[in-house]
A and B are shown apart, each in its own frame.
Chain A
Amino acid sequence: MDGISLLTITVLAVFVGFEVVSKVSSTLHTPLMSGANAIHGIILVGAIIVAGQAADPWVLAVALLAVVLATANLVGGFVVTDRMLEMFGGRRDGKGPR
């Protein structure tokens, strides 16, 4: 993909990111932070690519370390966010936030 297309995607993503988060109440700041944290764990895809290209054992070792770290970020992030949100949902009985 050429540079301008990548730049276009990046700029649009910045606006989406700003837009999505700007109106969240402080009540949900902690789960939101944790959820965003989980999403950047998708670096796992990059770690898998470099591990899949590795020919040298040292390179493979470093790449596998990256895979382990990225997986921990991704899996742990989504699990801990889910636990937090489960508590928020449990007591509200369909009532919206104040």
Chain B
Amino acid sequence: MSILDPTWTGLLYLVAAVLFILALMGLNSPRTARRGNLVGAAGAVLGVATVFLSARLENIPWILGAIAVGSAVAAPVARRVKMTQMPQLVAAFNGVGGGAAALVALLELGHTADAWVRLAIAFTLLVGAVSFAGSAVTFAKLQELMTTRPVVFPGLPVVMAAVLLAALGAGVAVVLTGSLPLALVLLILGLGAGIFLVLPVGGADVPIVISLLNAFTGLAVAASGLVLGNVLLLVAGTLVGASGTILTRAMAAAMGRSVAGILFGAFRGGSTAGSTAVSDRPVRSSSAEDVAVLLGYAQRVIIVPGYGLAVAQGQHTAAELAKALQLRGIQVDFAIHPVAGRMPGHMNVLLAEANVPYEELREMTEINADFKTADVALVVGANDVVNPAAKTSSGSPIYGMPILEVADARQVVFLKRSMRPGFAGIENELLYEPQTTLLFGDAKDSLTKVLGAVKAL
């Protein structure tokens, strides 16, 4: 049944595409972002309604059932997921999108004899499969189901090159023959390529890979648009592909890396790639009372919140501690590294959730010079973003990443659960410096104790 003629269909798809563009534009500013997202959702509803009204479809009850299942699975998860776990959820949603694009391409193969369309199909199969498998590995790393360190084995570059060459061959064969078994081979090679692409990426760089795979899925969707002759898919996919590419490069630049360096850095070897051994060098640890004295008699304190603070849900306590210190006439700021957390901007989301006043959040570039004037830098649950190895150790996986220069402060206090290294899996030399004090324990418990001790001063 088709109610709409092709002209109306085309117009409605155009409106939906414009709504997507408006959605991305809205996400430019915090003021318009939420409305922008709703506009995007409206575009999606319009696009889906249009396909039901315009295409000749069989199996409609089945399709509606499948949509209900997909919604019933995704919506509650999206609603309930903790904000700390949101990066892995974004990775998961990206992966299933890539998988869907690959399956659509696979099923279209039997419907065409056109070599150009087959080329688009081969491209979608490969890129969709890479995105699916790559996202799965990313998810496992973020969820810490597997090691967050780069996984490299001898011969990995050779294996990767072989997989890509084989995929290229299979792709050409699919274009020439339109053979379904060869398409399945291409799909499997794509899955392999996705796994081998992400395995060597270290924890600190995983967010950038999510963004890259997001762009890949966009490209796969755009190619599906070519296959199906559907302008909405073409425009939406291209938008995401292009914006995802820009975003990936912007994030990489914020970390002082190149995208190629992130993907293939671990191949070059010689990298420390993170040590599993926990060093037994002596560190200075201290009690909550001592830390409170240090803080309470300072003039200037800079708090450096990290993922560990968010995991412990200690943001409110940190905000309270800042207030207590301010009451004593101490100047307190929060220093936010752009990639603190698990994704660029993630810490801003996490602190926003905890209602930490926006005015007290200072970005890295504006606060770095202030550490010299700070009596105490209080690092809560952060590690990699303050690790001087990023500046001094050229073999380190995080070498080149701009860091918060807490080492310049007169005293450095780390609140840590244990001596276990951070997400990037590397030791922090700062922990062994003479001006550094450690307070072991859960970030929230430690903060609560320090807060109590400050109030009792």
Contacts and interface: CB of A to CB of B under 8 A. Distances in A.
B62 A55 contact: no
Interface string A11-40: 001111110111110111111111111111
Nearest to A72: B74
B3 interface: no
A46 B24 contact: no
Interface stretch (B148-156, B289-297, B350-358): B350-358
Interface residues of B, number: 112
A31 B241 contact: no
Contacts of B217: 37, 40
Contact of A67 (B56, B67, B221, B357): B67
Contact of B97 (A3, A43, A45): A43
A52 to B, nearest CB: 3
Contacts of B87: 30
Contact of A49 (B55, B60, B246, B250): B55
Contacts of A27: 30, 345, 348
Contacts of A92: 30-31, 358
A40 B37 contact: no
B71 interface: yes
Interface in A64-84: 64-84
Interface string B7-47: 00000000010001101110111110110111011011001
Interface stretch (B100-108, B405-413, B429-437): B100-108
B230 A45 contact: yes
B238 A71 contact: no
Nearest to B90: A34
B419 interface: no
Contacts of B232: 42, 45
Contact of A75 (B47, B71, B233): B71
Contacts of B97: 37, 40-41, 43, 69-70, 73-74, 77
B59 interface: yes
A84 B93 contact: no
Given A17-B242, A39-B20, A45 B214 contact: no
Q: What interface size band does chain A fall in?
A: 35 or more
A9 B66 contact: no
Contact of A42 (B21, B44, B99, B344): B44
Contact of B100 (A17, A69, A81): A69
Nearest to B91: A37
A45 B47 contact: yes
B346 to A, nearest CB: 5
A76 B357 CA distance: 29
A59 B103 CA distance: 10
Most A C-beta atoms less than 10 A away, residue of B108, B226, B237, B363? B237
A50 B58 contact: no
Contacts of B231: 1, 6, 9
Most B C-beta atoms less than 10 A away, residue of A17, A22, A44? A17
B390 interface: no
Interface string B54-72: 0111111011011101110
Most A C-beta atoms less than 10 A away, residue of B43, B90, B236, B247? B90
A91 B357 contact: yes
Given A43-B100, A46-B224, A48-B52, A75 B70 contact: yes
Given A13-B239, A28-B28, A30-B86, 4 more contacts: A32-B243, A32-B247, A46-B221, A97-B31
28 contacts: A9-B234, A9-B238, A17-B243, A21-B246, A21-B250, A23-B28, A28-B30, A30-B348, A34-B86, A35-B27, A39-B20, A40-B217, A42-B232, A51-B57, A53-B57, A60-B59, A63-B107, A66-B104, A69-B96, A74-B44, A76-B77, A76-B93, A84-B83, A87-B353, A88-B349, A90-B352, A91-B357, A92-B31
Interface of A: 1, 3, 6, 9-10, 13-18, 20-24, 26-55, 59-60, 62-92, 94-98
